[in-house]
Amino acid sequence: MSPLQPVHNIAEICARHGITDVVLSPGSRCAPLTIAFARHPEVRTRVVPDERAAAFIALGLAQAQRRAVALVCTSGTAGLNYAPAVAEAYFQQVPLVLFTADRPPEWIDQLDGQTIRQTDLYGGHAKGAFEFPADLTHPDARWHAARMVSEAINLAQQFPAGPVQVNVPLREPFYPAVGEEIRYDKVNITQETGGSPQLTANELDELRQQLRQTARALVVAGQHPADAPLLLALRKLAAAYQIPVVGDLIANVHLPVGPDYDLRHAPLGRQDVFMAVPEAGLKEALRPELLITFGQSLISKALKNYLREYAPTQHWHVQPAGAVADTFKSLTRVIRMEPAAFFEALLSETPAAAKGQKQAAKNQQTRLVWQGTGSARDEAAAPKDAFATPWQRANGWATEFVAEFMQQPEQPFNEFSAIYRALQLVPDGAALHLANSMAVRYANILGVPAGRAIEVFANRGTSGIDGCTSTAVGAALAQPGRPVVLLTGDVAFFYDRNALWHNYPVPNLRIILINNHAGGIFRLIDGPRQQPELEEFFETHQPLTAENTARDFNLRYRAVRTFEELDKALPAFFAPSSKGSAALLEITTDSAANAAFFEHYRTAVRTSFS
């Protein structure tokens, strides 16, 4: 038996666990792993030379396919370059299994080439770290090795999912002899069957009773993948209990779901607009007594700050397992269920719940009803929709305000308006990837057209710019029949150009690059924009355009500098490519003009609410 047989079996174990996509980065120390995966008939391998880009591409593949993806790299700093994507996967709960080739333990710290301390390389940013046996001669060691790989894969996929490292020390020789076949043993694997946590009937009755007795309940959705059963349950819940449901664009609660419900109960997404209104009466009218949350992070700083200042009496967070963050400093109960199952359970009746319904209805009351006039009044035993109404009115006002504001004539050419126009034409069914910095913030304010099935992704686990393009590339590779649109700024785009450095066509990828030749976000936020060092030390001025990058990577390229050019370019940009290549639309704007127009928008929000 080949001394490397247990290493070759890693590919077989992955395939039997359903891991069929592997992203490889070239190297010599990892050769046994590379060859094993490359020759396995049930595994699809892709080679990405830059390990940082490779890991984010794997993240995008895993997001799109909703299953684990494996990575393989050589020893030394190669594995360290996975670290940004590992952290993002950890906080975004995306399953990755990282096989990091290593020197054998006796050569660590002995000044040997490409040798660092790789054991537990990612620390607290990985769900787990396993050390593959360096000596595989004993049968027990081979059993241990196979068992370990199964454990690592299971751990990566258990809720909350995340990245897991398997460090693989390897001794020479790495390569099979010429003509030597690689075989895969039928090793035992350990598979886990997941269970769904449930509450007892009495616990559910208690929660239903509390919900019925609370006239001011609010549901806030954090980042979450598209989930049709969850969307349906939320709309039913909003109608049955008159509860407003609020979510950022990345919560994907904006997605259409049938049958159509009364629009008054549709999820709300304009909080970044109406939360900027300096009206104390409105803020008090929106205050919840009971806050119910699910999902991960929020983009909206205004909503986070509001819920911290106007704290609810009770805060329930719904999450089946794992650590729970107290984002709003008000957490009172953790409910261990899948969100869709929990909201469905709240809608179902039990004898105890039905008995208490009549009494609960008598106890409904709200303290404040927004009158739409800048004032509030006490209202005893008001109907529950008295709390939903101010949320709906504020959201409706914000929706109309944005549409009217963005269509005002004689605007200077600016990135905020350019993004608004581009979002109107994103194809139905597309995956919209939003780069960090201003792109994700602009999109959260503007939203996507109502009724379009546009699923939204963003690397908000760590909110870094370092892999936004690579993640979108991974999504495009995973779903070649689906339009994938990346909205990005210049700093994020040029930082991650190696996302395009590979040999795999992505004709379904469309990149909208907003190039203001600077880190324009620093002109838009208080603090840096008031400093004399703004231009030199914060804005990251750069003279680049994307034309050469597009030429290097065979992207269809168009550059625009006016609204007329933009409106003419967008339909062709989004159209399917007859040349089979991705497309890049570069929108060049002026950073100072962008800041001035956005300040004009913020002033209009503060003064236009009625």
pLDDT tens track for 438-481: 999 999 999 999 989 999 999 999 999 999 999 999 999 999 99
On whether residue 140 sits in a domain, the answer given is: yes
Binning pLDDT at 50, 70 and 90, where does residue 536 land?
A: low
Q: Which domain holds residue 517?
A: 408-608
For residue 301, give the CATH number of its domain.
3.40.50.1220
Is the preceding peptide bond at 163 cis, omega within 30 degrees of 0? no
User: Where would I find the H helices in 93-227?
Assistant: 139-157, 201-212
- Whether the pLDDT of residue 369 is over 70: the answer is no
**Domain boundary at 148, 169, 190, which?**
169
For residue range 209-227, list pLDDT tens digits in order.
999 999 999 999 999 999 9
pLDDT (0 to 100) of residue 126 = 97
Q: Which residues, 6 or more positions from 308, have their beta carbon under 8 angstroms from its beta carbon?
A: 328, 329, 330
337 plus 367 within the same structural domain: yes
Q: Are residues 415 and 382 in the same domain?
A: no
Residue 384: pLDDT band by 50, 70, 90 thresholds? low
Q: Could you tell me if 386 and 454 lie in one domain? A: no
Stretch 1-20: mean pLDDT, rounded?
93
Quick check: is 32 in a domain? yes
Three-state DSSP at 129 gives strand
Each residue's pLDDT tens digit, 80-109:
999 999 999 999 999 999 999 999 999 898
Residue 134 belongs to some domain of the structure: yes
491 plus 375 within the same structural domain: no
Give domain status of residue 239, yes or no.
Answer: yes
Model pLDDT, residue 499: 97
Is 421 found in the same domain as 288? no
Q: Are residues 586 and 449 in the same domain?
A: yes
Return d(Cα 392, Cα 372) in angstroms, integer.
Answer: 11
**398 occurs within a structural domain:** no
In contact, 13 and 184? CB cutoff 8 Å: no
Question: Tell me, what's the pLDDT at 373?
Answer: 33
Verify that 162 and 277 share a domain, yes or no. Answer: no
* Domain-located, residue 117: yes
Residues 296 and 355 in one domain: yes
219, 366: one domain: yes
The CATH number of the domain holding residue 481 is 3.40.50.970
Q: What is the pLDDT of residue 259?
A: 59
Please report whether residue 67 resides in a domain. yes
Q: pLDDT at position 363, please?
A: 41
The answer to whether residue 366 scores a pLDDT higher than 70 is no
Number of domains composing the chain: 3
Same domain, 208 and 158: no
Q: Note the pLDDT tens digit of each residue in 153-170.
A: 999 999 999 999 999 999
Instruction: Name the H helices within 407-507.
Output: 415-423, 438-446, 468-478, 490-495
Q: Based on the domain organization, do 430 and 538 belong to the same domain?
A: yes
- Kindly state the percentage of the chain with pLDDT values over 90: 78
Q: What number is the average pLDDT over the span 173-187?
A: 87
Which range is least confidently modeled, 109-113, 131-135, 258-262? Answer: 258-262
Mean pLDDT of 508-527: 82
Q: pLDDT value at position 537?
A: 62
Q: Which two tokens stand for residue 601?
A: 């928008």
Q: How many CB atoms lie within 10 A of CB 421?
A: 16
CA distance 245 to 235: 8
pLDDT at 367 over 70: no
CA distance linking residue 403 with residue 423, whole number of Å: 12
pLDDT at residue 528 is higher than 70: no
**Residue 519, pLDDT score:** 64
pLDDT of residue 610: 64
**What's the pLDDT tens digit per position in 46-80?**
999 999 999 999 999 999 999 999 999 999 999 99
Most confident of 108-112, 387-391, 519-523: 387-391
- The Cα 586–Cα 600 span in angstroms is 24
- The answer to the question of residue 232 being in a domain is yes
Q: What is the DSSP letter of 268?
A: B
Q: Which of 357, 391, 425 is the last residue of a domain?
A: 391
Give 385's pLDDT tier (boundaries 50, 70, 90): confident
In this structure, the answer to whether residues 387 and 427 fall within a common structural domain is no
Q: What is the average pLDDT value for the chain, to the nearest integer?
A: 90
